Chain A
Amino acid sequence: DIQLTQSPSTLSASVGDRVTITCRASQSITSRLAWYQQKPGKAPKLLIYKASTLQSGVPSRFSGSGSGTEFTLTISSLQPDDFATYFCQQYDVDWAFGQGTKVEIK
């Protein structure tokens, strides 16, 4: 099974900060990685797929990069609506999620 490890688990940041979350895969998944945002009590929302392609309607302050085993999600200027938990997901061999990164207010 492919394991995904996100870091950090929790991130404290302020509005306007640049934020980066890392997702590492236990083996190469090429670019078959997605990022989701989840707010409390809500379903996950697709942000990015194919490692770096922004889903329609997602603000351009979100970006993704990487391939193989190391990936990043960057929020260029954190907004109040962005405080949430973020999950990466691989869809190269079956499906699996990272453990999540909670972005909280500093």
Chain B
Amino acid sequence: EVQLVESGGDLVQPGGSLRLSCAASGFTFSSYWMHWVRQAPGKGLLWVSRIQSDGSSTIYADSLKGRFTASRDNTKNTLFLQMKSLRAEDTAVYYCARMNGYGYFDYWGHGSLVTVSS
């Protein structure tokens, strides 16, 4: 059974940093491109980042470039999202998602809540 389990969400002060993790199981993690998607409270889904299967290439939403960094450890079947210079508007549930080879997201984690507030 495919499982994606996020962790690391927390309350952080504006300007702070946080690293989210997404532990994958039930599939060959190293074969799949992975994504991060976030959802602010009561709002829609915002695509955040994509990382290729070997971690060699990453892309980000224009509004987040330079502050967020996606990475992965295929030996530990884990995806990461390093976030810095956090702002109140970064408050959201962050989901990791597996991308099917055609481009859509066939499995999602349950999400991890990041709250940016003083």
Contact = CB atoms under 8 A, between A and B. Distances in A.
Contact of B108 (A43, A49, A50): A43
Contacts, number: 55
A103 interface: no
Contacts of B44: 87, 97-100
B11 interface: no
A100 B37 CA distance: 15
A50 B44 CA distance: 21
Given A97-B45, A97-B46, A98-B44, A91 B106 contact: no
Interface of A: 1, 32, 34, 36, 38, 42-46, 49-50, 55, 87, 89, 91-92, 94-100
Interface of B: 35, 37, 44-47, 50, 59, 62, 95, 100, 102-106, 108-111
